[in-house]
Amino acid sequence: MAINVLSSKKGTIISKYIYGHFSEHLGRCIYEGIYVGDDSDIPNVNGMRTDVVEALKKIKIPVLRWPGGCFADEYHWKDGIGKKSERKKIVNTHWGGVTENNHFGTHEFFELVKQLECEAYVNGNVGSGTVQEMQEWVEYITMAGESPMANLRKDNGQEEPWKMRFFGVGNESWGCGGNMRPEYYSDLYRQYQTYVRQYSSEKIYKIACGPNVDDYNWMDVLMKNASPWFDGISLHHYALTGEWLNKGTATGFPKEEWWSLIKSANRMDELIRKHSIIMDKYDPEKRIGLIVDEWGSWLAVEPGSNPGFLYQQNTIRDAMVAAITLNIFNNHADRVYMANLAQTVNVLQSVILTEGHSMIKTPTYHVFDLYQNHQDAELIEYYGEIPENISLSISKKENKITITICNYNIENVENVSIDFETNVNNVKGRILAAEAMDAHNTFEKPNEVDVKEFTDISTNESEVEMALPPMSVIAVELDV
């Protein structure tokens, strides 16, 4: 297989926000996975697990979305401020009917964002919240001077406002966020966003609730009726092995489910292309970003775990899903501005799993590690004979090129030659690979699937040649 590299696609930068994450009040994501409270014997800083924060910082997570998800549309932010012992206890009706003690609220979220050195994406409540409630939350977070909400925040110990770049107006308003029709939601969006006021000089990037998967009508109605009032519109697509109600298992699956999950992940490309055609109709300048704020594998929960907690293992197959999807986002960087993997810790396709004091990095974590250089790099286009089971993207920062390439064949090695039409130097590669389709890390064997040096690579003037093992993700760096 020969791939020819073209020069960079003029002006297209791969937004670092494509490498974003999503953490909801769901199962053991926030509580246990991230927040253990400052009286926990699990090492923490102001309640945030040190091991998890450190691991997330290593992959440079650029943005974190919170508090949901479906939870966002029943979250009343005032329940989560003030003295912890006096915070209201509510029922998390979406996720297992468990008691939510609201110990992790606005102050804790911004503490987390500070520790992660990332940006905040807060999702507001349209489904069961009022316009006033949303307006006041934005005021509470971002108002510096004297105002009722700024004063309340100061009374709660936070003198300075926080930085909030991204704000979502509702989540899945077509489903768990209110079962609305697009005409109704687009009017509500226009109303609610009016009161997402600019209290600081940092412009708030407003995100409208976009379509579920291939609901092209939703995209069309939203773009037609409300696009002048939003900066971004969301898209949700989860990779499934088959029917929604009959999800395949995360480990011990047959070959067909390797392929069905991969096929579902690859569908992201078609979805982005088709939604982009609609967006282009109303926004040819591409001012509006497509925000894929929920994506990843959605598989059956681990046996014995609470079905409402969505806890699943994470294998080399999920690493393929991540590698393929991130390559798709990179290659559509002219429209995709942000993406948020669901969900950071202990839920769906997590980068981290925890059990008591222990923490492991999943194969998906390692993909985010391998892809780091793409953040805010220039997209490079390519053409050639690219076999069906190979996914790649290429970017450039100054004279450094990064190629991320994934061979999702189960058995075949794929020989690849990439011609840069200019001499290449200092080539080095790293690889994540496994021999079993469901290879994964466990608390007993945390490094079963890990990144290693990739040596099956050679250069010949302008050409890079490599033999890609099956079930592998490779990141190559070189200078031009």
Query: Within 13 Å and on the Cβ side, how many CA atoms surround 263?
Result: 8
CB-wise, 15 or 173, nearer to ligand AHR? Answer: 173
Distance of CA 166 to the CA centre of its chain: 14
Structure tokens at 237: 């697509």
Q: CA–CA separation, 330 vs 337, rounded Å? A: 10
Interaction between residue 293 and ligand AHR (CB under 6 A): no
Q: Which one of the spans 29-37, 52-60, 169-177, 424-432 is the region binding ligand AHR (CB under 6 A)?
A: 169-177
100 is catalytic: no
Total of chain residues touching ligand AHR, rule CB under 6 A: 11
CB-wise, 271 or 468, nearer to ligand AHR? Answer: 271
| C-beta of residue 261 within 8 angstroms of C-beta of residue 297 | yes
Q: CA–CA separation, 207 vs 169, rounded Å? A: 6
Q: Which one of the spans 203-211, 341-349, 397-405, 448-456 is the region binding ligand AHR (CB under 6 A)?
A: 341-349
Which is the catalytic residue, given 24, 100, 136, 294? 294
294 is catalytic: yes
- CB 58 to ligand AHR: min, Å: 24
CA-wise closest residue to 51 among 304, 361, 265: 361
Which of residues 27, 62, 68, 211 is near ligand AHR by CB under 6 A? 68
CB-wise, 142 or 312, nearer to ligand AHR? Answer: 312
- CB 294 to ligand AHR: min, Å: 5
- CB 401 to ligand AHR: min, Å: 34
First to last CA, the chain: 22
Q: Which one of the spans 59-67, 68-76, 79-87, 371-379 is the region binding ligand AHR (CB under 6 A)?
A: 68-76
Interaction between residue 69 and ligand AHR (CB under 6 A): yes
Q: CA–CA separation, 215 vs 173, rounded Å? A: 13
Interaction between residue 20 and ligand AHR (CB under 6 A): no
Which of residues 241, 327, 331, 343 is near ligand AHR by CB under 6 A? 343
CB-wise, 316 or 342, nearer to ligand AHR? Answer: 342
String of contacts with ligand AHR for each residue 120-159, x by CB under 6 A? ----------------------------------------
Which is the catalytic residue, given 136, 172, 257, 378? 172
- CB 212 to ligand AHR: min, Å: 8
| C-beta of residue 210 within 8 angstroms of C-beta of residue 222 | yes
Interaction between residue 294 and ligand AHR (CB under 6 A): yes
| C-beta of residue 140 within 8 angstroms of C-beta of residue 200 | no
CB-wise, 65 or 361, nearer to ligand AHR? Answer: 65
Structure tokens at 408: 């999702």
Q: CA–CA separation, 220 vs 210, rounded Å? A: 10
Q: Which one of the spans 28-36, 66-74, 106-114, 222-230 is the region binding ligand AHR (CB under 6 A)?
A: 66-74
Triad 54, 58, 59: Cα angle to 5°: 125
CB-wise, 24 or 257, nearer to ligand AHR? Answer: 24
Which residue in the shown chain puts its C-beta closest to ligand AHR?
A: 69
**Per-position DSSP letters for 87-131, written without gaps between them:** SPPEEETTTTTEEE---S-HHHHHHHHHHHT-EEEEEE--SS--H
Pairing of strands 205-208, 20-22: unpaired
Peptide bond into 69 cis (omega under 30): yes
CB-wise, 272 or 342, nearer to ligand AHR? Answer: 342
Beta-carbon neighbour count of residue 88 at 10 Å? 12
Which of residues 5, 20, 24, 124 is near ligand AHR by CB under 6 A? 24
Torsion of CA 70, 71, 72, 77, to 10 degrees: 170
Q: CA–CA separation, 318 vs 440, rounded Å? A: 10
Which of residues 342, 377, 390, 464 is near ligand AHR by CB under 6 A? 342
Distance of CA 319 to the CA centre of its chain: 14
Which of residues 29, 36, 70, 250 is near ligand AHR by CB under 6 A? 70
Interaction between residue 171 and ligand AHR (CB under 6 A): yes
Question: Alpha helix locations (H) across 332-436?
Answer: 363-370
Q: CA–CA separation, 15 vs 338, rounded Å? A: 7
- CB 68 to ligand AHR: min, Å: 5
Q: What is the binding site for ligand AHR (CB under 6 A)?
A: 24, 68-70, 171-172, 176, 294, 342-343, 348
Residues belonging to the active site: 172, 294
